[in-house]
């Protein structure tokens, strides 16, 4: 598989819609290298699933799409209509979801192959969990933005500030 210029432009439009970014030359210039990297990663994830002979059913992709629509309090049809109104082919989002499902299957298969848990390990983990029941626990998450070259520093810093601003105005951290 290869990544075409149309793929890149359509995914950039999709990200601008999802992130509520203005479609300006400056925003496009900042997003383009990151989006290209994501598209290449998606292609590699789909290829790896094929190499491992893992199949992804259309229904699995549709379920991911429905979940994405539901996160935005929309039906799948409303999501399709929105993308159509912005000139983004629905296949752009389908391919993104295909890559997500493919990678999840790759990871599950690879991890399952390597992980064997003994009864003793289960008992030890259970004991540890029960002893921590009354202690305060925290759920921690992070967003990692890589700076691949010194020239990327300002672009990534601006992107990070934009994400921080969105989070402070109620954006969903997980998204």
Secondary structure tally for the chain: helices H, strands E = 7, 0
3-state DSSP assignment of residue 3: coil
Name the band, by pLDDT with cuts 50, 70 and 90, for residue 2. confident
3-state secondary structure of 82: helix
Q: Is the dihedral of CA 151, 154, 155, 156 positive or negative?
A: positive
**pLDDT surpasses 90 at 32:** yes
Q: Taking a C-beta distance cutoff of 8 angstroms, is the pair 68, 23 a contact? A: no
pLDDT higher than 70, residue 137? no
36-91 confidence digits (pLDDT tens): 999 999 999 999 999 999 999 999 999 999 999 998 889 999 999 999 999 999 99
- pTM flag (> 0.75): no
CA–CA gap between residue 106 and residue 50 (Å, rounded): 9
Percent of the residues in the chain that have a pLDDT greater than 90, as a whole number: 52
Whether 134 has a pLDDT exceeding 80, the answer reads no
């Amino acid at each position: 598989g290869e990544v075409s210029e149309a793929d890149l432009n359509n995914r950039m439009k999709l990200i601008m819609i999802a992130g509520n970014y203005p479609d300006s030359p400056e925003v496009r210039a900042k997003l383009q290298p990151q989006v290209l990297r994501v598209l290449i990663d998606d292609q590699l994830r789909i290829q790896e699933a094929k190499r491992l002979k893992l199949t992804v059913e259309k229904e699995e992709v549709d379920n991911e799409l429905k979940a994405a629509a539901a996160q935005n309090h929309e039906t799948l049809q409303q999501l399709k209509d929105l993308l159509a109104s912005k000139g983004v082919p629905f296949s752009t989002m389908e391919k993104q979801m295909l890559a997500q499902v493919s990678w999840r299957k790759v990871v599950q298969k690879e991890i399952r192959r390597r992980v064997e848990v003994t009864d003793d390990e289960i008992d030890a983990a259970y004991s540890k969990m029960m002893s921590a029941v009354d202690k305060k626990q925290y759920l921690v998450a992070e967003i990692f933005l890589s700076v691949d070259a010194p020239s990327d520093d300002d672009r990534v810093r601006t992107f990070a500030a934009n994400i921080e601003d969105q989070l402070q105005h109620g954006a969903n951290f997980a998204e």
